[in-house]
A and B are shown apart, each in its own frame.
Chain A
Amino acid sequence: MENTPEKFKHIKGWGIDADPKNDPTYPMKRRTNEEHKGYSWQRPTQQPIDIEVLHSNERPNVTAVFGESVPPSGLSGMIRRFAFKHSENSYLHWLPLLLADRVNVVEGIVEDFAHGKVPNIFEEKGYVAEWKYNRTSLLTKMAVVAAITAAGVMLLARKNEDDD
Chain B
Amino acid sequence: MLAMNYRGPKRVRIDEKPMPEIKHPQDAIVRVTRSCICGSDLHLYNGNVPDTRVGSTFGHEFTGIVEEIGSEVTKLKVGDHVLVPFNISCGQCAFCKQELYGNCHESNPEATAVGAIYGYSHTAGGYNGGQAEYVRVPYANVGPTVIPEGMDPDDAVLLTDVVPTGYQAAEMAGIQKGDTVLIFGAGPIGIMAAKCSWLFGAGRVIVLDKEEYRLEFARNYADCEAYNFEEMDDPVLWAKKQTDWMGADVCIDAVGAEAAGNVMQTITGRKLLLQAGSATALHWAINSVKKGGIISIVGVYGPTDNLVPIGNVLNKGLTIRANQASVKRLLPRLIEHVQNGVLNPKGLITHRIPLEEVADGYRMFSGKLDNCIKTVLIPPSARM
Q: Which A residues have a C-beta under 8 Å from some C-beta of B?
A: 24-25, 27-32, 34-35, 37, 39, 41-45, 47-48, 53-56, 58-59, 61-70, 72, 76, 80, 83-84, 88, 91, 94, 97-98, 100-102, 104-105, 107-109, 111-112, 119-121, 123-130, 133-134
Contact = CB atoms under 8 A, between A and B. Distances in A.
B26 to A, nearest CB: 7
A134 B369 contact: yes
B102 to A, nearest CB: 8
Contacts of A27: 171-172
B273 A98 contact: yes
A105 B303 CA distance: 21
Among A27, A28, A32, A94: residue with most chain B CB under 10 A: A28
B126 A68 contact: yes
A42 B92 contact: yes
Nearest to B324: A28
Given A108-B54, A133-B369, A134-B369, A88 B113 contact: yes
Contact of B364 (A70, A80, A107, A126): A126
Interface in B109-163: 109-113, 116, 122-123, 125-128, 138-139
Interface stretch (B6-14, B232-240, B249-257): B6-14
A37 B95 CA distance: 12
Interface of B: 7-13, 23-27, 47, 50-57, 72, 88, 90, 92-95, 97-100, 105-113, 116, 122-123, 125-128, 138-139, 168, 171-172, 273, 302-304, 319, 321, 323, 326, 329, 359-364, 367, 369-370
5 contacts: A32-B98, A104-B53, A105-B11, A123-B13, A126-B10
B24 A54 contact: no
Contact of B139 (A43, A44, A84): A44
Among B9, B47, B113, B126: residue with most chain A CB under 10 A: B126
Among A56, A98, A129: residue with most chain B CB under 10 A: A129
Which A-B residue pairs are the 7 nearest by beta carbons? A126-B363, A67-B126, A67-B127, A34-B94, A105-B8, A129-B360, A108-B54
Nearest to A97: B50
Given A34-B94, A54-B110, A56-B110, A124 B7 contact: yes
Contacts of A70: 53-56, 122, 126
Contact of B110 (A48, A55, A100): A55
Given A37-B94, A44-B24, A65-B90, 4 more contacts: A65-B107, A67-B127, A70-B53, A70-B56
SS class, residues of chain A in contact with chain B: loop
B112 A56 contact: yes
B106 A45 contact: no
Contacts of A53: 109, 126
A43 B106 contact: yes
Given A28-B172, A29-B99, A32-B98, A126 B125 contact: no
Contacts of A83: 51
A103 B303 CA distance: 20
A48 B23 contact: yes
A69 B126 contact: yes
Contacts of A91: 304
Contact of A121 (B11, B128, B329, B369): B11
A134 B359 CA distance: 15
A95 to B, nearest CB: 8
B79 to A, nearest CB: 24
Given A44-B92, A44-B139, A94-B50, A65 B106 contact: yes
B10 A44 contact: no
A97 B106 contact: no
B106 A63 contact: yes
A126 B99 contact: no
Contacts of B123: 97
Contact of A69 (B7, B24, B26, B57): B57
Contacts of A68: 23, 126
Contact of A31 (B98, B125, B369): B98
B296 to A, nearest CB: 11
Given A80-B51, A94-B303, A129-B369, A123 B359 contact: yes
A62 B109 contact: yes
Nearest to A42: B92
A79 to B, nearest CB: 10
Contact of B106 (A55, A64, A130): A64
Given A28-B172, A54-B109, A101-B51, A125 B11 contact: yes
B363 A127 contact: yes
Contacts of A124: 7, 11-13, 359
Nearest to B27: A65
B38 to A, nearest CB: 16
Given A54-B110, A64-B106, A80-B51, A125 B95 contact: no
B59 to A, nearest CB: 12
A130 B11 contact: no
B202 to A, nearest CB: 16
